[in-house]
A and B are shown apart, each in its own frame.
Chain A
């Protein structure tokens, strides 16, 4: 079965430290990969995506993500976390051959001052 896993329900980071939010997937075909962020009482906002090309993609608010085909991962990273980055983060994968969109279960990021 096709699936997307975010293995951590919550990630806690001190402000100024680097952060990583993990995502692994199992889908058929070449995937399209996305990260979305949800702030409290808001809808989801697009952060970044990988379609083809350079494995390291840069997105909004200083976030970046690295596509690793051999490990089927697409981890979200930021070199220096801000308190305002605290939110719920979702990994989204579009299966290449079926076009089905599959969400991970979400990871809450808490950045403490």
Chain B
């Protein structure tokens, strides 16, 4: 089974801190994604990456950056955390098959609270 592992389940940080959220996948997937999940808003894409050292902005990239130095690891960085970044963060990776199409695999999420 594909495993997508997020390093922390809960994080509490202070306003202005630099925050790193780590995600590792073990299936050699090329595509990786960071979403944030807020009640009533569903999942919103922050950044995604289709290859090592490659990144693309999603729908809400402001206040975030990412790093993908190795294929299996995709990090989300909050340069200076703010209270409006309190949210559940979900990492995903995906595979593509011409017959099966795309399938997303999600980590368990990191609940970040910024005080």
Q: Describe A's contact surface by its main secondary structure.
A: strand
The chain B residue with its CB closest to the CB of A100 is: B45
Size class of the contact patch on chain B: 20 to 34
Contact of B90 among A34, A44, A105 (CB under 8 A): A44
- Residues of A contacting B44 with CB < 8 Å? 103
Size of the A side of the interface (Cβ < 8 Å), in residues, is 21
B109 adjacent to A43 (CB under 8 Å) = yes
- Residues of B contacting A101 with CB < 8 Å? 33, 45, 102, 104
Interface residues of B in 1-54 (CB under 8 A from A): 4, 33, 35, 40-45
A105 adjacent to B100 (CB under 8 Å) = no
- Residues of B contacting A36 with CB < 8 Å? 104, 106
Cα A92 to Cα B41 with chains together (Å): 13
B40 adjacent to A105 (CB under 8 Å) = yes
A44 adjacent to B41 (CB under 8 Å) = no
A103 adjacent to B101 (CB under 8 Å) = no
- Residues of B contacting A94 with CB < 8 Å? 101-102
> Is A22 an interface residue when CB atoms closer than 8 A count as contact?
no
Which residues in B have some Cβ–Cβ distance to A below 8 Å?
A: 4, 33, 35, 40-45, 90, 92, 99-109
